[in-house]
Amino acid sequence: MRKRVMNKIKLFFVMLTFVAAFMSGTTKNDVRAAVPDNGEIVFEILRDGQPFGIHSLHFTPQHDGMLRVDIDISMRFSIGPLTLFRYHHTNTEYWRNDRLLKLESATNDDGRKYFVRAFWEDQSVTIKTQDKTYEAPISLYSSSYWNPIMLRAEKVLNTQKGDVENIHATHLGTIEKQVNRDIIAVDHYRVEAAVPIDVYYHAETRQWVGLSFRARGAAISYRRLTPLPQEKT
């Protein structure tokens, strides 16, 4: 049973390898709103309320107008002194405006190693992995649940294994939710993918503030550690 739970959790994190956006917000459909002023978003990953890992994103503007985003996901599951599961994923992405230009990722999934290289060109995306090289439609986005632009996509790039996967997002409404110590208005989306996911964005600024899903009875959730975005006045 424990092995099946961990496999379900790993399947989710195959989908949940995140990407980048841009500086300071404009409209609710503009991905630049998803980047905080301090240039980072950090979450603690919880499994049934207990610490399970850290997910961090760091945003660095480049001199040529691109934005570099460095993503790091680290997880570990132990019982006493025995470690049953380890996961580490890094991903570096370069964006200009609302277009992803390239992506390079490396993953150690409990001893199994993967890499992905993807390059967005004029008409298509070239994707390279340890197993294959192929092309995908230029409209492809990465599986960036923190980035609201991906909610418009029907297909996303799995940045662990380099596969193209189907998704469907539904806006379930604006609700009040506790984030850190505050009760704030958030937009709640249900993302139907390999594992159904509930993802939450600050209703005013559109920054990513939370995420949750269930895997064979285990509740996985994200607790935001970085300060909440300030609403516009």
Domain boundaries, the chain: 2-224
Tokens 């899903």 belong to: 213
Confidence bin at 55 (pLDDT 50/70/90): very high
**Predicted local confidence at residue 100, as pLDDT:** 86
Average pLDDT over residues 166-171: 93
Average pLDDT over residues 196-218: 89
**Predicted local confidence at residue 31, as pLDDT:** 56
**Residue pLDDT, tens place only, 64-78:** 888 899 999 999 988
Confidence bin at 194 (pLDDT 50/70/90): confident
**Residue pLDDT, tens place only, 213-227:** 987 688 999 999 998
Tokens 């300071």 belong to: 24
Confidence bin at 82 (pLDDT 50/70/90): confident
By mean pLDDT, which of 32-36, 96-100, 185-189 is the weakest?
32-36
Distance between CA atoms of residues 165 and 175, nearest Å: 29
How much of the chain exceeds pLDDT 90, in percent? 52
Burial of 197 (0-12, 13-18, 19+ CB in 10 A): buried
**Predicted local confidence at residue 107, as pLDDT:** 96
pLDDT(26) > 60: no
Distance between CA atoms of residues 201 and 187, nearest Å: 5
pLDDT(1) > 70: no
Average pLDDT over residues 117-127: 94
Distance between CA atoms of residues 214 and 212, nearest Å: 7
Contacts of 67 (CB under 8 A, 6+ apart): 20, 21, 22, 23, 35, 59, 60, 61, 94, 95, 96
pLDDT(36) > 60: yes
